[in-house]
Structure 1
């Protein structure tokens, strides 16, 4: 996925069980990378984009993701667009979606307390190893070694889109150029795939994305503008 992924398992389970759960989690994420990567010429996404693979012959996961991306395109008035760069790239949904699937599988396997961090898109379940709510730092958009705010909670999905890890990579699909106005957008909800897509869409909207986020049901947000303002929902679960 072109990013680092970390997993913290906080349940008191046998070491062999924890090892197996971690292996299964990273195995799934490697499978997703092989299927959806835009950096690998042999991935399903690249083969479909080049016309070498028919949609009907694609995997069930790829077909489901593209259907969800179409729904998100409609829900965001076209600002979440898997073709915004001119080629098929569903990464703005896939990273969060795959991490959410991995988290759901861990819960089903008995690991109810964990934190999975996929390049700054984070899903936390249950409690941390100290038996307290998890703390999630949101990267500072100008200083990768610092945070601009810290959240605390259990059973949260926290997705951040912006320039922290990949530069000005989000494009405004209407103007066909890099989005401007919002340096960083963090969306907090119950599903990391949705939060990831909503954060990407808001960045693409520019400053108009702030009002759109304010109206978004069942989600909270924090925004850093290009001119350095930090704005956030009043109910955002902030901590020191």
Structure 2
């Protein structure tokens, strides 16, 4: 969750750990900027900055050593392209220009942007607005967007003024010809809670087009695993316990042809008078959620879906989120704070998928 530098998005998801030949931490600590070749000659590994966080790639491909520079160049170019279209930190991006426009006419965008907006609106409808790509004004007001950080909460009047601009129903999208429109001039569209997941999907698809027979792609804690490692084993992904003081694993999954995204409240927040205000904003109230659900992980066929649903479930809270995920056959792991420690709840779909990949 569902944004941090002038050309990207802040890292707002909880961290995941990924393991290859040996344990390798990605998404939670800086990785190498320059590419490296692992001991297995058919695996190429490289990483770099993107979307206000970092990406990490492991690709199984013939002639790995010779193709390192080519693959990293192509991945960097693809991620830059997505940023130029969907970043709210780049004032010249398609999304920023749409937000700056006061016209209610159709605004031409790339097919890619239209596709992501359409999917965001679909998730908004499915979750009854718990996921809302127009929540940006409130996110920015609380100091978690391009406007910069803050150390104290906004006033009730400021929250109500920003909340009046929220509502996914104010956005329309068409795919052919691709365009988006707004019904009021002050609507602000923000895809930060879905764009990282889409970016992971896009890079995974790109690597397949470039001849990779398997890969693991991660951006800021969102992961796509395709195929298996050269030894025939699935990729191992660790879900971190929601504790800002360390990197303890909650569980480890073995995944193939699967995506996982995690949203949590313990990495991006500020405190005042002992009260925590996280970046997870409830679109219905315009305020950070105050329930005890610390983190949500979702397994799904696409990382775009996993990313958006992890955000929506975190907004819903421990009981509503679990019930909605269960009723809609979503594979979700919810970790809640209790006086006795962390409480873990897995939907039946989570147990079915995670066990099936092991």
TM beyond 0.5: yes
What is the rounded CA distance, in whole Å, between the counterparts of 2:111 and 2:124 in structure 1? 20
Partner of 1:220: 331
What is the rounded CA distance, in whole Å, between the counterparts of 2:252 and 2:202 in structure 1? 24
Find out whether 1:180 has 2:290 as its counterpart. Answer: yes
Find out whether 1:95 has 2:146 as its counterpart. Answer: no
What is the rounded CA distance, in whole Å, between the counterparts of 1:78 and 1:130 in structure 2? 44
What is the rounded CA distance, in whole Å, between the counterparts of 2:234 and 2:279 in structure 1? 32
The one of 302, 305, 312 aligned to 1:201 = 312
What is the rounded CA distance, in whole Å, between the counterparts of 1:55 and 1:5 in structure 2? 33
Find out whether 1:21 has 2:71 as its counterpart. Answer: yes
Q: Structure 1 unaligned runs (5+)?
A: none
Native 8 Å contact 1:11 1:129 kept in 2? no
Secondary structure, in 3 states, of the residue corresponding to 1:23?
helix
Native 8 Å contact 1:158 1:189 kept in 2? yes
Shift of 1:85: 3.1
Higher RCO, Cα 8 Å, sep 6+: 2
Shift of 1:108: 2.7
Shift of 1:12: 3.5
Shift of 1:172: 0.9
Find out whether 1:163 has 2:274 as its counterpart. Answer: no
Partner of 1:107: 208
Partner of 2:161: none
Partner of 1:136: 237
The one of 64, 70, 86 aligned to 2:115 = 64
Shift of 1:52: 6.8
Native 8 Å contact 2:98 2:107 kept in 1? no
Secondary structure, in 3 states, of the residue corresponding to 2:334?
strand
Shift of 1:151: 0.8
* Structure showing the higher strand proportion among its residues: 2
> How many residues are treated as equivalent by the alignment?
239
Secondary structure, in 3 states, of the residue corresponding to 2:352?
coil
Q: Structure 2 unaligned runs (5+)?
A: 1-50, 138-187, 270-277
TM-aligned CA distance change 1:41 to 1:52, over 3 Å: farther
Secondary structure, in 3 states, of the residue corresponding to 1:235?
helix
Shift of 1:10: 2.4
Larger Rg: 2
Native 8 Å contact 1:157 1:192 kept in 2? yes
* Higher deviation after alignment, 55-64 or 177-186: 55-64
The one of 130, 143, 146 aligned to 2:248 = 146
Q: TM-score, normalised by structure 1?
A: 0.90
The one of 59, 71, 90 aligned to 1:9 = 59
